[in-house]
Copies of this chain bind each other. A is one copy, B any other.
């Protein structure tokens, strides 16, 4: 029988003892204030107990992890077909030139988990939702069964002020007629979705439907099997910027990272697992988080492959 708690404890000790913990993202001034020595993990098993270690209960900025939630909400409202006319599902593959690819493919983002793709999804939600920001936040709260989850207005404002690259992407999309709403309104929504704060437990709970054929902890259906399969496929091929292949190769689970240092991964039918460590590697993923997940799947021999 696998000793999950023992494995988490070992990973935690190794992480704590690691000297080079990576560098905290500094392009969003509010995020740069976080110390890099936080570390927490939370394992939510579909059957059986949960396991956790370290600072699993401290909320952090989920940032790009929110893209999975917005994609799920868009899929659940419109189905998958209607969305694929405006965003592709291919890995981005190009480490340096993300606007370049968008330009080359005439305004169709490579996938919904790169910034430009998530901005298109944000545009869809701004059109479809009555009160976009409130309704989206409520969706995340419902997935996690936790009504205390909040936006961090300071982080959203900080990114609105300095997020020139996202303004560039949104304007480029607009120039290709792939946005229906105003750039300002879309990015206001987008910066808010990224600013949501959750802890490791809340994230593992909110990702439960992706491991459980669409139904959350309480058994409520949020997505159908078909949508879950597709979201997991996108996470696997596109969830880690230019390190998606590496993560699939070393870890072998669908997952999503954020520059706040969070990583959520899952094994369908088995578990969801969140790790948080704010220091990033040079690809923009949590340095210790990547190592922790690699260690977890190596020790447990659990992966989709």
Question: Using a CB–CB distance below 8 Å, which chain A residues touch chain B?
Answer: 88-101, 103-105, 110-111, 164-165, 167-172, 174-175, 183, 225-226, 228-230, 232-234, 236-238, 242-246, 248-250, 252, 254, 268, 298, 301, 303-305
Contact = CB atoms under 8 A, between A and B. Distances in A.
B245 A229 contact: no
A116 to B, nearest CB: 11
Question: Chain A: interface secondary structure?
Answer: helix
A15 to B, nearest CB: 22
B103 A232 contact: no
Given A172-B164, A175-B164, A89 B254 contact: no
Contact of A165 (B89, B175, B232, B252): B175
A246 B90 contact: yes
A91 B245 contact: yes
B171 A111 contact: no
B96 A93 contact: no
A243 to B, nearest CB: 8
List the 8 shortest-distance A-B pairs measured between CB atoms, nearest first: A93-B93, A100-B100, A91-B91, A164-B175, A168-B171, A90-B245, A232-B305, A167-B171
B249 A245 contact: no
B94 A244 contact: no
Given A229-B303, A268-B305, 11 more contacts: A91-B91, A91-B245, A93-B93, A95-B105, A99-B168, A164-B171, A167-B174, A167-B183, A230-B250, A233-B252, A268-B304
B175 A225 contact: no
A213 to B, nearest CB: 10
A244 B245 CA distance: 11
